[in-house]
Chains A and B, each alone.
Chain A
Amino acid sequence: MSLLLRVLRHADEARHLSPADWDLLVRQCRHANLLGRLHQRLEAAGIDMPERARNHLLSGTIMAEQQHHSILREVGHLRDALSDIGLPLILLKGAAYVAAGLPAAAGRLFADVDILVPHARLGEAESALMLTGWQSTALDDYDQRYYRRWMHELPAMQHMFRGTALDVHHTILPPTSRLKPDARLLIEASVEIPGLPGVRTLALPDLILHSASHLFHEGEPDNLLRDLTDLDALLRQLGETPAAWDALARRAERLQLAGPLRLALRYSHRLLGTPVPARLLAELGCLKGGPRQRLLDALYLRVLETQHPSAADGLRGAARKLLYIRAHWLRMPPHLLAYHLAHKALFPPQADTRNLTADEKNAA
């Protein structure tokens, strides 16, 4: 278990670290996109941070505060755009945590706003957003088709002036997935955020189930540990009302998301020590073994870790690849999967680097 996970489990682990340990902790934390969140944990726990390490962690908090500020402004713009066509704004994931002021927002960094609109009104919503400056980001025709036919969201949009990114979902898993949560149930149960008329989020159990299904259907591991800490914060919040645990389990059944919930509770409990009633863990089969579970553990325990090289063993690369395939396997039937992977193999996406811009060099 990485130093970062140990400190996330018990902030007290950070009390007697050497400068070299702090160095490692900050690096592992940066690779997991958790600088701001760890900073707030350690502050809350009254841990004395050495100045150099604190500066890096504090930078993460300041960055997160700025992002939260701009997300809140964006939420206002989005609400206005959708209210023109009589739709409430329903926020998902990070934007929901921030707008509703949940503990899961603490120090969270993120790149985009995710919203949910009813499938029947998707076209209308897209038009209304385009009229206020949101544009589909340039993807090739294959990607446009892929999103519109097979995915639970439109191709990512970006605001032409403000540059902010937006994902418009009509449900929380691709319609081609084996699991088919009914988005109408999510919308019906959504709740208005106090003090923000016209802005809603999913109810807390649904936020948890969305976070869980996202965690185990995503092929991109770089933010998985961050997402697991989201889940941990949401579950701790839920746990303040003991009766809510059974409601969560029933809700998962109803939305066909008992599988993702089982894994979410298993790993959140095991890696982050999330307090989940033992009875529930047993009832949902969160603790069971068996060869299939051992294989899943071998994969998930490698990717639900900081992706910093110091926390890797020789199998991490393979685990990342297998989970990428598993995520796609869960998201689409075999013939579609074969076609999609073949296309991605033949036409790989552009590398994830960029030129140092003139500005940065001058800045540099």
Chain B
Amino acid sequence: MRIRDLSPADFLARLGADGVRLAAGPFNCRLQSGIPEIAEELARLYAHHPLIGADDFIDFHVGVRPGQGLRRWLRPQAVFSVDAVEPFTPLPRNQALAMLEWGLNWCITAYSQHLLVIHAACVARGDRAVILPAPPGSGKSTLCAALANRGWRLLSDELTLIRLDTGEVMGLARPVNLKNASIDVIRAYAPEAFLTRPVHDTTKGTVALMAPTEASVLAVGQWARPTWMILPRYRPGVDARLEPMGSGAAFLQIADNAMNYHILGSHGFAAVGRMVDHCRSFNFEYSRLDEAIAIFDRLAREAEGDAP
């Protein structure tokens, strides 16, 4: 059974009581909230994710609850919790849904030292993955959202998870976090995609979450091989251009963006080294999404042509 099979009333009731139990790639999550207004959008963001049983192991027990006392009414707040611990300062209540997503990302980062966790977007064709590590403002999420709506499957928008044993990427297929101008860009580019109502004045500016495509969620259990590492940069007006990157520079890009590189020690070094050895690495400048996607598609065709 998938989330979309629950009636809105059932989803809301579960969310407010014991929580909604779902699988996001390798992680089982229990989402709980006493803030009913997030239910409808949350259900659409995770529509295609499978429900799991009440007796299954849960990796992250997370929730957002309303502020207490006066904070229920006066400048109302949302408080994130993971298994009864509330590690963060509350945010305004209208950011509750985003806070749940950010909090879940924090859990994955904090509790997954058995994986190399890279701050990067990741999309794939079949089992060949493109890893897009990039600083905020580089247009990484926009590009990732566009690719995910043009035949690439979304593995992750923010956290790329690399297995230390096989070097494969484990996808999450969780919502994409769009910011500011990219919200309207993606609305225009992929009108069929579901985006939440934008929330203004967060510390990241205006944010909206985009649901992963059904195909991405259905294929999420298929781990992918890192095949390309592409460092995107949005520059208004430029023609899309791939520039090969040396393996030393590529190593530093990945290590720099790995959240737990310093924790994994030699295992981290080995994992990044293996990735660089298996990837073709590029710097990539673009301004028009169609052009960018044509280039990604060409890379995919070349790889298929190379394949035995």
List chain A positions with a Cβ less than 8 A from chain B.
Answer: 18-20, 22-23, 26-27, 30-31, 50, 52-53, 55-56, 58-60, 62-63, 65-66, 69, 308-309, 353-356, 358, 360-364
> How far in angstroms is the closest Cβ of chain B from A33?
12
> How far in angstroms is the closest Cβ of chain A from B200?
16
> How far in angstroms is the closest Cβ of chain B from A28?
10
Q: With A30-B83, A356-B106, A360-B106 given, is the CB distance from A62 to B264 under 8 Å?
A: yes
Rounded to whole angstroms, the CA-CA distance of A27 and B57 in the bound complex is 11
Judge whether B114 and A55 touch: CB under 8 Å.
Answer: yes
Residues of chain A lying within 8 A (CB to CB) of residue B114: 55, 58-59, 62
The interface stretch among B10-18, B86-94, B186-194 is: B86-94
Contact of B89 among A18, A353, A358, A364 (CB under 8 A): A353
Judge whether B89 and A63 touch: CB under 8 Å.
Answer: no
* Residue B259 at the chain A interface, CB threshold 8 Å: yes
Residues of chain B lying within 8 A (CB to CB) of residue A63: 113, 263
* Residue B58 at the chain A interface, CB threshold 8 Å: yes
Which of A26, A59, A355 is packed against the most chain B CB atoms within 10 Å? Answer: A59
Which of B58, B87, B158 is packed against the most chain A CB atoms within 10 Å? Answer: B58
Rounded to whole angstroms, the CA-CA distance of A26 and B112 in the bound complex is 13
Which label, helix, strand, loop or mixed, suits the secondary structure of the A interface? helix
Judge whether B57 and A23 touch: CB under 8 Å.
Answer: yes
> How far in angstroms is the closest Cβ of chain A from B131?
15
CB closest chain-B residue, reference A307? B84
Known: A31-B83, A58-B113. 13 other contacts (CB 8 A): A20-B55, A23-B58, A31-B85, A63-B263, A65-B265, A66-B263, A66-B264, A66-B265, A308-B84, A353-B86, A354-B89, A356-B89, A360-B109
* Residue B48 at the chain A interface, CB threshold 8 Å: no
Rounded to whole angstroms, the CA-CA distance of A22 and B56 in the bound complex is 9
Residues of chain A lying within 8 A (CB to CB) of residue B103: 364
Contact of B59 among A52, A69, A354 (CB under 8 A): A52
CB closest chain-B residue, reference A60? B113
A–B Cβ pairs within 8 angstroms, 25 of them: A19-B56, A19-B57, A22-B57, A23-B57, A27-B61, A52-B59, A53-B57, A56-B59, A56-B111, A59-B112, A59-B114, A62-B263, A63-B113, A66-B264, A308-B84, A309-B84, A353-B87, A356-B89, A356-B203, A360-B109, A361-B102, A361-B203, A361-B204, A362-B119, A363-B106
Residues of chain B lying within 8 A (CB to CB) of residue A65: 265
Rounded to whole angstroms, the CA-CA distance of A39 and B159 in the bound complex is 26
Q: How many A-B residue pairs have CB under 8 A?
A: 91
Judge whether A364 and B265 touch: CB under 8 Å.
Answer: no
Judge whether B112 and A354 touch: CB under 8 Å.
Answer: no
Residues of chain A lying within 8 A (CB to CB) of residue B285: none
CB closest chain-B residue, reference A360? B106
Judge whether B113 and A362 touch: CB under 8 Å.
Answer: no
> How far in angstroms is the closest Cβ of chain A from B254?
15
Rounded to whole angstroms, the CA-CA distance of A27 and B56 in the bound complex is 14
Judge whether B58 and A363 touch: CB under 8 Å.
Answer: no
Judge whether A363 and B109 touch: CB under 8 Å.
Answer: yes
> How far in angstroms is the closest Cβ of chain A from B85?
8
Rounded to whole angstroms, the CA-CA distance of A356 and B103 in the bound complex is 9
CB closest chain-A residue, reference B58? A23
* Residue B168 at the chain A interface, CB threshold 8 Å: no
> How far in angstroms is the closest Cβ of chain B from A186?
34
Rounded to whole angstroms, the CA-CA distance of A355 and B106 in the bound complex is 12
Q: With A18-B55, A58-B114, A361-B102 given, is the CB distance from A354 to B264 under 8 Å?
A: no
> How far in angstroms is the closest Cβ of chain B from A125?
29
Contact of B57 among A30, A52, A69, A308 (CB under 8 A): A52
Q: With A23-B58, A353-B86 given, is the CB distance from A364 to B263 under 8 Å?
A: no
> How far in angstroms is the closest Cβ of chain A from B199?
13
Rounded to whole angstroms, the CA-CA distance of A19 and B88 in the bound complex is 29
Rounded to whole angstroms, the CA-CA distance of A22 and B55 in the bound complex is 10
Rounded to whole angstroms, the CA-CA distance of A253 and B177 in the bound complex is 63
* Residue B247 at the chain A interface, CB threshold 8 Å: no
